[in-house]
A and B are shown apart, each in its own frame.
Chain A
Amino acid sequence: MLQDVTFGQYYETQSFVHKMDARIKLLALILYVVLIFVVKNFYGFLVVGAFLIVATIFSRVPLGAMLSSVKGILFLILFTVLLNVFFYQAPNETILFWVVSVESLTFAGFMALRLITLVLGSMLLTLTTTPVALTDAIESLLSPLKVIKFPVHELALVMSIALRFIPTLMAEADRIIMAQKARGADFDSGSLVARAKAMIPVLIPLLISAFRRAEELGDAMDSRSYSSSAVRTKYKKYRLTYRDLIGSIICVISLAGVILLNVYAGGIV
């Protein structure tokens, strides 16, 4: 069933990483992404790997949940690797056969590592942070933009509503699929075009229901005089703790480590 699909699902538990401030975690992720793109050699990935392992241990998230995210992009990784193996060109290549060289293989491996660590890192964020905390964090981090009249609150609201309705619409899609199956619809066989066509009886009712829900939600908000311009307080206040300090320090040390390794060990090519 559709609900089984892991979509950045929150893993409920108590841990050091879970208790960290979502804002810090989000900033840490941005730093981490920068880190991955700054890395120039495999030694740097040792630092990234160490960072990931430490973070995973302290998040108490099962390894299986983390690795399942890689399974989802396996095709993308394979695609990237193949493209790089065949099209990467470096000066003074050591050709192994045809266009495949030692350099292209190394570079392909490098790209694969980059993708995998990228996904694992962002997976760790969504596994340890509730969607609500995440949108709150985005709102808080973007709030300086209010000065230039950027609708920060509205953006956060749109995001949280969208996230909130993912499971609802998934359940709805499940129900509609069942109903159409009961009328003999076949979603699992036939050509690609036939299968795409078979989705029409699901997509149209789903779209209609999404619009209906949106309208109902809008009415419900209106009836409670919801206004985005109103000054509102937060139910949950986020405060920085020693955990956030430690987390930030580890991130900065990792970045420094990677930069140092870049300087002293050089690039792979």
Chain B
Amino acid sequence: MQIISKSLTFSYNEKANFSRRALDGATLTVNEGDFFGIIGETGSGKSTFIQHLNGLIPLQSGTLTVGEFNLTVPKKRKEKKAFLKSLKQLRSKVGMVFQYPEYQLFAETVREDVAFGVKNFFPNASQEEVDFKVKKAIELVGLDYNLVAEKSPFDLSGGQKRRVAIAGVLASEPETLVLDEPVAGLDPVSKKRLMSLLHTLHDTGVVKTVIIVSHDMNDVMENCNRVAVFENGKVVKECEPKSLFENYDDYALSRLGLPVTAYLTKTLKGVGVNVESSYKIEDFTNKLIEKYFENR
């Protein structure tokens, strides 16, 4: 599904005198098949933006289409009712994993928690179908079904809880997966595992499009094929990570901090070592090693 937003504007507490504009004309296109990164400082509007994608926040102004869904809220009462009903269908297609999703677990067992979404989206599914989907989702996130299915989600470790929460979204088989700060608060190993899990899901076509929100440059550089930079509710840059890396002197990017590779290139240049720029840590390290042996 292609996602096209044009001049999306949104204010919290629209009518109150202390209203705050969270989105101020955000224009953005995410193509099917993208591993899309959204970066920006805290309060730049990235979370507000993604909450529009499955109709959790009603559109105030601007337009947004997600696949064939037009998210403009109809004015007529009857149409509005039908629109609100159709949102459920949209939500089954655009899976949303919130920040710290493990805080939303509630059921007695992992199996029941993962089944929650499936039962909501496919009310007519038989018990076998539900069980099948749940099992598949739990295995997709790399957990042992037989080991965890009947456990209480609250007995699991932090990283495992997050996987269960993601499985809860994957179980309803969304085409697009949106994750808000998916690696926040995880240790480096769990972080790496989770990212490679997302890549596996994307590469094997379990989900067609992945959108991740982050304020860490490196996460986005390493993983995404397209990136949008949010600032004060606007999209100030939409490009490939490579070009983000090459223009790291831009104001918006410098506020977010340099990615590790850019920082190293810059520092090495300062001491007279010119390494060909490359933005992925792995490529960069390889080039650096090559350079080292060249000089020996």
Contacts and interface: CB of A to CB of B under 8 A. Distances in A.
Interface string A174-210: 0110111111111010000000000011101100110
Contacts of B116: 180, 183-185, 201
Nearest to B101: A179
B286 interface: no
A182 B120 contact: no
A258 B117 CA distance: 61
A178 B106 contact: no
Interface in B44-98: 51, 54, 56, 84, 88, 91-92, 95-96, 98
Chain A contact residues (Cβ within 8 angstroms of B): what range?
20 to 34
Contacts of A180: 104, 116
A4 interface: yes
Question: Main secondary structure on chain A at its contact with chain B?
Answer: helix
Q: B-side binding surface: helix, strand, loop or mixed?
A: helix
A64 to B, nearest CB: 11
Nearest to A3: B13
Nearest to B87: A181
Interface residues of B, number: 25
B98 A183 contact: no
A181 B106 contact: no
B98 A4 contact: no
B263 interface: no
Interface of A: 3-4, 175-176, 178-186, 188, 200-202, 204-205, 208-209
Interface of B: 13, 51, 54, 56, 84, 88, 91-92, 95-96, 98, 101, 103-107, 116-117, 120-121, 154, 168-169, 172
16 contacts: A176-B104, A178-B51, A179-B96, A179-B101, A182-B54, A182-B56, A182-B91, A182-B96, A182-B98, A183-B116, A183-B169, A184-B92, A184-B117, A185-B116, A201-B106, A205-B105
Given A184-B92, A205-B106, 19 more contacts: A4-B13, A175-B98, A178-B98, A179-B96, A179-B98, A179-B101, A182-B91, A182-B95, A182-B98, A183-B169, A184-B121, A186-B88, A186-B120, A188-B84, A200-B106, A205-B103, A205-B104, A205-B105, A209-B103
